[in-house]
Amino acid sequence: MTARSTSAAHRNARRAGAIALAWALIAAAATVDAQDARMKVVLDTDIGTDIDDGWALGYALKSPSFDLVGVTVSDADTPQRARLACKLLYRLGRTDVPVAVGRQTAAVPADRLDYQFAWAEDFEAYKPIATPAVEFLADIIRKNPGQITLVAVGPLQNIGDLVRLHPDVVPLVKRVVLMSGSIGPNASSPVPVAEWNVRLAIPEAQRVYAASWPLTIVPLDATTYVRLDDQERESLRKAGTPLVIALEALLRLWTERPTSRMTLHDQLALAETQHPGRFFGRCDATPVRVDDKGYTRVDQKNGRPVNVCLEPKRDEFMRHYLAQLAAK
């Protein structure tokens, strides 16, 4: 090879290296942009009683749209609930997600046994943070003004306390989505009922519904029509991923009798968060207030506008949900 050809080869190599570097920088920038574009979400949950909470946390972790920046736990034995959430996060390698414990309250009923707690009763490898849930919420909202979406799928002690103790953060919240309420008939009742998440924390629910933030609810009117059937469960079980194995274990602990089937209350709230309006026939702005007995009343005079999601597109949602959980 001549000196001239050697020099040309060196120039070409440098040019190729510069091009490769440029593409690497572009790819890295695109990755950062994609991460920045993900929705910052905090999931507030009473994980450990009904089964849908654990399966909802799994869904939130698998969503490519979510940047799950924290989990807060509410209602009754919150330290036990937090331990369960921590174990699920640990099993999935997500110890980057902090878990904050809400205040303890009396169990309803008092003799209730939450068998899912047994799955994590001796777990110590990943622990909740020391900051109480309400202070964690206030802090992360202030650090990310206009960016945090709160998704609450349990009784509203934490979110209600946030409004009461830190009203300044209310206008800083991007959106609030609740699995909450009962506006009309549902699959279990021909008339509205005092829904569990509202009834167990009525003063807190009243504050949350009355606060001046963008509020969407996914009520019993929608969720009670969406249940996991045996074929879907078996199809998911065959995926055999660490998440699916953990969720199946929790489901077996929760199952009270052979006829028990999971209703996907909380997952539908997360689906609405991920894809607003996609999985419902209607999402109507409706004036709603919470009365002193825990009913979510449509009240044209005293209600505050709330986006109410109705008419679930069950099959479309289930295809999306199961595929997201099963993804490697």
Can you tell me whether residue 67 is helix, strand or coil? Answer: strand
Residue 103's closest CA among 86, 126, 85, 79? Answer: 79
Cα–Cα distance measured from residue 303 to residue 227, given in angstroms and rounded to the nearest whole number = 31
Cα–Cα distance measured from residue 187 to residue 221, given in angstroms and rounded to the nearest whole number = 7
Give me the residue label for tokens 């399966």: 55
Number of Cβ within a 10 Å radius of residue 62: 18
Residue 310's closest CA among 156, 182, 214? Answer: 182
Cα–Cα distance measured from residue 53 to residue 273, given in angstroms and rounded to the nearest whole number = 15
What does the pLDDT read at residue 37? Answer: 86
Q: Which residues contact 112 (CB under 8 A, 6 or more apart)?
A: 49, 76
Peptide bond into 287 cis (omega under 30): no
β-strand pairing of 280-290 with 296-298: antiparallel
Burial 207-242 (b: 16+ CB within 10 A, else e): bbbebeeebbbbbbbbbbbbebeeeebeebeebebe
Q: What is the mean pLDDT of each run of 10 residues along the chain (328 residues)?
A: 51 52 41 64 98 98 97 98 98 98 96 96 97 98 98 98 98 98 97 98 98 98 98 96 97 94 98 98 98 98 97 98 95
Angle between helices 242-254 and 78-91 (to 10 degrees): 150
Number of Cβ within a 10 Å radius of residue 297: 15
Cα–Cα distance measured from residue 250 to residue 119, given in angstroms and rounded to the nearest whole number = 7
Residue 175's closest CA among 52, 307, 36? Answer: 307
Query: Of all helices (H) and strands (E), which one includes residue 56?
Result: helix 52-62
What does the pLDDT read at residue 152? Answer: 98
What does the pLDDT read at residue 283? Answer: 97
Decide if 76 contacts 46 (C-beta within 8 A): yes
What are 176's two structure tokens? Answer: 């609030």
Burial 99-137 (b: 16+ CB within 10 A, else e): bbbbeeeeeeeeeeebebbebbeeeeebebeebbbbbbb
What does the pLDDT read at residue 13? Answer: 52
